Amino acid sequence: MRFAEKSASAQVGPQADVVVSSRVRLARNVAGFPFVARSSDLQRQEVMQMVTRAPLGNEFGSGLTWVNMSQTTPLERQLLVERHLVSRHFAESVIPRTVGVDTEETLSVMVNEEDHLRIQTILPGFRPVDAFNEARKLDVAMEATVDFSFSTRWGYLTACPTNVGCGVRVGVMLHLPGLRYTGEMERVKRAAKDMHLAMRGFYGEGTEAVGNFYQVSNQLTLGCSEDDLIRRFAEETVPHLVDYERSARAMLAENNRPLLDDKVHRAVATLRAARLLGAEEATKLLANLRLGICMQVIKDVELELVQRLLLQVQPAHLARIDPAATDEDKGRLARASMVRLALRG
């Protein structure tokens, strides 16, 4: 299995100081079949065939590369999760399933996740509108040959009724250390709940916000059009959160400069000196280095390098570079060595 040279989640895009990446996911089900959980393996395979054979037209260049998940190794599945191309649930599932990925790794289609299709786009930085337009393009191309379950009352019918309607989930991965270090995080979480937003950890539902990275996405999918939903998210919701984080950072720099400097310099010193580094520890330290770069505390390290390292320190990515790193102790050694080398001043 081949991966793109640069994962979208390892690049730097607009408003990168706070917004790491933008993601849109569309949930669709093929008409005439039970939903995935209630389908037989034969029906699941039939859906896979229908979707993978659907002609997508010239707009998608060389098209999607389909990866049959049953034929992947555990390492490849973990790589797909770390690159945010598939969900953990999808990687760990044992039913017939496949994922289609484009060459840039901005577009992916999971077949037989919770819904028959999960069309997903991920772009670096703050680009929710572009992400939606890309996902919608593939949606339209699929619709030309595949009938989706739809009712005029409920919209696109999904396995979980919380996704029914337009079936659109738009989200951003935010870096919110300012809000965390100024003690504002609980207030933000409450506000997010009131605004019907979900706040999840680094790898989505049920995962922790390691390094103060949070995935923020809409919870409502019914009663407003896709365009309104995306516009509100892009023009109101996220800018509000981004402003809040920037104010918190400014407040931190003004009122508690030693704390900020300590967090950043301690992280840099550890990253440049450590001989053993776990994935979670490395993520937390790189996140503080990221904050230091964005607040111009650190000027000799590029943000893009940190973004790339945040991906490369993850277990499967490390194991791909150094196969011996699958062993936990050797992995810690290899991770520390890789980070030291990359940050050599």
Partner 1 sequence: MKCDLCNNPSVVHEVVIKSGVTTEVHLCSEHAAAKGYQVPTAPVKQLLAQFVGQTPTIHVTTRRDAIGQTRCPGCGLTFSEFRQTGVLGCPGCYEAFMPQIGAVIERAQAGAVHHVGRSPLRTEGVADRAALRQRLLHEINAAVAAEQYERAASLRDQLQSMGESGTA
Q: Which parts of this chain interact with partner 1 (CB under 8 A)? A: 29, 31-35, 37-38, 114, 140, 143-144, 147-157, 159-162, 164-166, 196, 219-229
Nearer to partner 1, 121 or 312 (CB): 121
1 vs 37 by CB, closer to partner 1: 37
Select 148 or 181, whichever has its Cβ closest to partner 1: 148
Shortest distance, position 164 Cβ to partner 1, whole Å:
6
CB nearer to partner 1: give 37 or 273. Answer: 37
The least CB distance from residue 144 to partner 1, in Å, is 7
Q: Can you tell me the distance from the alpha carbon of 197 to that of 191, in angstroms, rounded to the nearest whole number?
A: 9
> Measured between alpha carbons, how far is 126 from 174 in angstroms, rounded to an integer?
9
Q: How far is the CB of 149 from partner 1 (least distance, A)?
A: 4
User: What's at 256, amino acid-wise?
Assistant: N
Q: Which is nearer to partner 1, 227 or 262 (CB)?
A: 227
Helix (H, G, I), strand (E, B) or coil at 65: strand
> What pairs with residue 65 in β-bridges?
101
Q: Which is nearer to partner 1, 224 or 342 (CB)?
A: 224
Q: Which of 67, 110, 121, 51 is nearest to 86 (CA)?
A: 110
Instruction: Compute the least distance from the CB of residue 165 to partner 1, in Å.
Output: 5
CA distance 112 to 203: 19
- Closest to 174 (Cα-Cα) out of 282, 330, 18, 9: 18
What three-state secondary structure class fits 296?
Answer: coil
Q: Position of tokens 């509108």?
A: 129
Of 197 and 336, which CB lies nearer to partner 1 in the complex structure? 197
Contact 221, 168 (CB under 8 A): yes
Phi-psi region of 157 (alpha: psi -120 to 50; beta: other; left: phi over 0): beta
CB atoms within 10 A of CB 293: 23
If we measure between CA atoms, which residue out of 176, 166, 320, 198 comes closest to residue 252?
Answer: 176
Which lies closer to partner 1 via its Cβ, residue 33 or residue 66? Answer: 33
Q: How far is the CB of 151 from partner 1 (least distance, A)?
A: 5
CB-CB contact of 8 with 105 (8 Å) = yes
CB of 186 to partner 1, least distance (A): 22
Q: How near is the Cβ of 153 to partner 1 at its closest, in Å?
A: 6
Q: How far is the CB of 132 from partner 1 (least distance, A)?
A: 11
d(CA 8, CA 178): 24
